[in-house]
């Protein structure tokens, strides 16, 4: 059992948003809050709405209606609102209106700063443009853009007119773009002529044009001229409009559409293990309330903070970044490009230069920055940081300890969080009221009914590995899947009847800490025991010889399942027979002889999604010759071909 690495001071606890929320609810401590929230979800979410003064045009008649069953829960029934009302409009006429909302830096170093007033004016101009083109209530509008201020403007302008935002990964090719736009029935797309990618211009409008050849529902595109003469962007008369020609001439004032609280506001696709991507649906109230709780209570985000999580608009972190910051009247840093280009210390320089206080990272991002040593992070002034948080995949101890030592300086908390697009954000979290262990979570987020259960749905005892489930409907849960109720029910509610099965393996220890061990479909069954890959990867990483690794189980005629370790050696480390023997010895000594790997494979890189998750199912499929499912979210598909070549 690992030891606690961080403990809050009494002063930090007293000043935390969580303490204020506990006083608001009358709950004595966090455990009492979780217990009552899980028992009375309607009461709990009403407390969240009141605590954050979430706004409605028309008050709701009923906080929750589960008469059709938990999978089909409806929230704030009879109420009308708009996510723009709670993210932007609420600050009009207050001191927040002239404070900085958005700070932007391009890959090439250009910068731009916008106050809430200035940002709102651009949102209104774009909203008026959309209305002039006949785009409004219920129309799906795609955002296919790099990290430009206009991407955040588009997010709010679409919602402002009552449209449904479809964020799309800026690195998509024509096929995955067409698939999502066609499935969503998109009416319009807002895009850019191109983007800078590690110093090279890349086309975006041209890629979109190719996709639109098979998406007849798209009638309009609005194009930001970002690269200008550097790249060609042919325009189709009657369909395509330049942002600078159409938007700039519009009025800086526009009304916000009054929507039903449970009307769809965001349609965001996640990659499925098999079949087409799943369209998760956020409503006008769901993620405003969920993000307010998760960040404003559990993670202690405050109005004076500056939020920064380097991500693409196509992953939920993009919408999350803009919404979390604006709900609380804070500011956000948006950066185009990569964390290590044009220089390997760019991520830390961004934190220093823009005085970031609230930094988000993924374990994969940290492993990538570790390859440059501690010199880059050591020369940066990170004194502005108040909170760090981490998400995306399970940690292993080596990168967690590196980050805690060199970024947090063993002083700041690294708030580990886990959840997903389909649940609106978090299931598990750390808080400022709890001690923290490396790689662990303090416990569940209130109002989720989170549990770890066996195959029969019975709660697991400490130390037992089981499925992470939700026993309650939460306000943030996706409103079914886009036009696919059957797949929604079968994917989440039918595996263990009566509970939401999230697809993660989890366990709890005797101290009450929770751990995510990997995706359920990544489970390796050795000697009759289910083992999450993270447990094995943690041992391999402790050797100090690897940059990263992925452990998968492949079919074996004798054992049923055999272990294969795909490893990326650290720079300067010889990936030869001696290292292979050391890694085998490490697993056997740490786990037992039955865990002796069948093969150690040394690779140049591991397949990763746009949000930097290691795709173990893709690794496994490449090594066995099976169908890997949807690969459209991969940022490095060439790695799959390299692994497949090893299999052949």
Predicted local distance difference test score (pLDDT) of residue 289: 98
**Burial class of residue 641 in the structure, from the number of CB atoms within 10 Å of its CB (0-12 exposed, 13-18 middle, 19+ buried):** exposed
- Assign 621 a pLDDT band (cuts: 50, 70, 90): confident
More confident residue, 509 or 614: 509
SS3 568: strand
Residue 274 has pLDDT above 60, yes or no: no
Q: What is the pTM of this model?
A: 0.88
Report the pLDDT averaged over residues 301-326.
Answer: 95
Overall residue count recorded for the chain in this entry: 648
Q: Which of 53-57, 554-558, 595-599 bottoms out in mean pLDDT, i.e. has the lowest?
A: 554-558
Predicted local distance difference test score (pLDDT) of residue 648: 56
**CA-CA-CA-CA torsion for 588, 589, 592, 596, nearest 10 degrees?**
0
Q: 620 CB contacts (<8 Å, ≥6 apart)?
A: 522, 552, 553, 554, 626
The mean of the pLDDT values for the chain is: 93
Residue 638 has pLDDT above 90, yes or no: no
Task: State how beta strands 140-144 and 240-242 pair.
Answer: unpaired
Question: Mind listing the pLDDT tens digit for each residue in 316-340?
Answer: 999 999 999 999 999 999 999 999 9
Report the pLDDT averaged over residues 377-401.
Answer: 94
- Assign 262 a pLDDT band (cuts: 50, 70, 90): very high
Residue 362 · residue 400 · CB < 8 Å:
no
Report the pLDDT averaged over residues 379-383.
Answer: 96
Predicted local distance difference test score (pLDDT) of residue 273: 45
Residue 443 · residue 417 · CB < 8 Å:
no
Q: How many CB atoms lie within 10 A of CB 200?
A: 9
- Assign 148 a pLDDT band (cuts: 50, 70, 90): very high
C-alpha to C-alpha distance for 491 and 449, rounded to whole angstroms: 18
Angle at Cα 630 formed by Cα 625 and Cα 632, nearest 5°?
Answer: 115
Report the pLDDT averaged over residues 185-192.
Answer: 98
C-alpha to C-alpha distance for 414 and 400, rounded to whole angstroms: 9
Instruction: Give CA separation, 130 vs 199, 222, 254, 440, in Å.
Output: 33, 9, 11, 45
> Which CATH architecture best describes the domain 523-647?
2-Layer Sandwich (3.30)
- Assign 593 a pLDDT band (cuts: 50, 70, 90): confident
Helices within 26-88 (DSSP H only)? 30-39, 41-51, 83-87
Predicted local distance difference test score (pLDDT) of residue 557: 64
Which pair of structure tokens corresponds to residue 488? Answer: 């929604």
Residue 434 has pLDDT above 60, yes or no: yes
């Amino acid at each position: 059992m690992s030891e606690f690495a961080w403990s809050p001071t009494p002063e930090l606890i007293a000043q935390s948003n969580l303490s204020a929320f506990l006083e608001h609810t009358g709950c004595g401590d966090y455990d009492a809050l979780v217990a009552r929230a899980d028992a009375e979800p309607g009461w709990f979410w009403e407390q969240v709405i009141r605590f954050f003064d979430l706004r409605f045009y028309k008050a709701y008649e009923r906080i929750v209606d589960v008469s059709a069953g938990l999978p089909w829960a409806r929230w704030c029934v009879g109420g009308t609102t708009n996510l723009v009302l709670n993210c932007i409009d609420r600050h009009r006429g207050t001191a927040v209106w002239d404070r900085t909302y958005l700070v932007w830096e391009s890959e090439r170093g250009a910068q731009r700063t916008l106050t809430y007033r200035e940002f709102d004016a651009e949102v209104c101009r774009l909203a008026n443009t959309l209305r002039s083109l006949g785009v409004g209530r219920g129309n799906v509008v795609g955002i296919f853009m790099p990290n430009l201020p206009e991407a955040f403007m588009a997010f709010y302008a679409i919602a402002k007119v009552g449209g449904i935002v479809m964020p799309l990964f800026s690195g998509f090719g024509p096929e995955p773009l067409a698939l999502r736009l066609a499935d969503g029935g998109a009416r319009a797309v807002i895009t850019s002529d191109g983007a800078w990618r590690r110093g090279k211009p890349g086309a975006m409008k041209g890629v979109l044009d190719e996709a639109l050849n098979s998406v007849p529902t798209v009638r309009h595109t609005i194009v930001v001229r970002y690269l200008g003469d550097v790249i060609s962007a042919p325009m189709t008369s009657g369909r395509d409009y330049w942002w600078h020609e159409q938007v700039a001439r519009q009025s800086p004032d526009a009304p916000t559409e009054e929507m039903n609280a449970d009307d769809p506001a965001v349609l965001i696709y996640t990659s499925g293990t098999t079949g087409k991507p799943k369209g998760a649906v956020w409503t006008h109230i769901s993620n405003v309330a969920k993000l307010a709780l998760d960040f404003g209570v559990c993670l202690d985000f405050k109005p004076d903070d500056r939020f920064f999580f380097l991500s693409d608009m196509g992953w939920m972190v993009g919408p999350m970044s803009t919404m979390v910051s604006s709900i609380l009247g804070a500011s956000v840093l948006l950066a185009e490009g990569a964390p290590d280009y044009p220089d390997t210390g760019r991520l830390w320089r961004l934190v220093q230069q823009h005085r970031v206080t609230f930094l988000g990272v993924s374990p994969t991002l940290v492993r990538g920055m570790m390859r440059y040593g501690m010199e880059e992070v050591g020369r940066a002034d990170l004194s502005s940081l108040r909170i760090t948080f981490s998400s995306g995949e399970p940690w292993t101890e080596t990168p967690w300890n590196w980050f805690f030592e060199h970024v947090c300086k063993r002083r700041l908390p690294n708030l580990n969080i886990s959840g997903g697009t389909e649940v609106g954000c978090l299931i598990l979290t750390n808080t400022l009221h709890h001690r923290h262990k490396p790689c662990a979570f303090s416990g569940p987020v209130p109002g989720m009914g989170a549990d770890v259960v066996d195959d029969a749905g019975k709660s697991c005892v400490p130390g037992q590995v089981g499925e992470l489930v939700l026993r309650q409907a939460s306000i943030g849960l996706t409103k079914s899947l886009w036009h696919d109720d059957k797949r929604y029910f079968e994917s989440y509610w039918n595996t263990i009847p009566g509970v939401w099965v999230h697809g993660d393996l989890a366990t709890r220890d005797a101290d009450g800490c929770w751990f995510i061990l990997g995706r359920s479909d990544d489970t390796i069954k050795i000697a009759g025991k289910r083992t999450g890959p993270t447990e094995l990867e943690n041992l391999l990483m402790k050797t100090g010889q690897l940059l990263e690794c992925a452990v998968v189980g492949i079919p074996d005629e004798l054992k049923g399942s055999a272990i294969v370790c795909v490893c990326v050696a650290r720079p300067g480390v010889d990936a030869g027979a001696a290292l292979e023997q050391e890694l085998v010895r490490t697993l056997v000594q740490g786990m037992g002889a039955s865990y002796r790997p069948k093969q150690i494979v040394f690779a140049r890189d591991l397949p990763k999604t746009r949000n930097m998750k290691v795709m173990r199912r893709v690794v496994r499929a490449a090594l066995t010759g099976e169908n890997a499912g949807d690969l459209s979210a991969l940022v490095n598909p060439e790695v799959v071909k390299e692994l497949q070549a090893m299999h052949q």
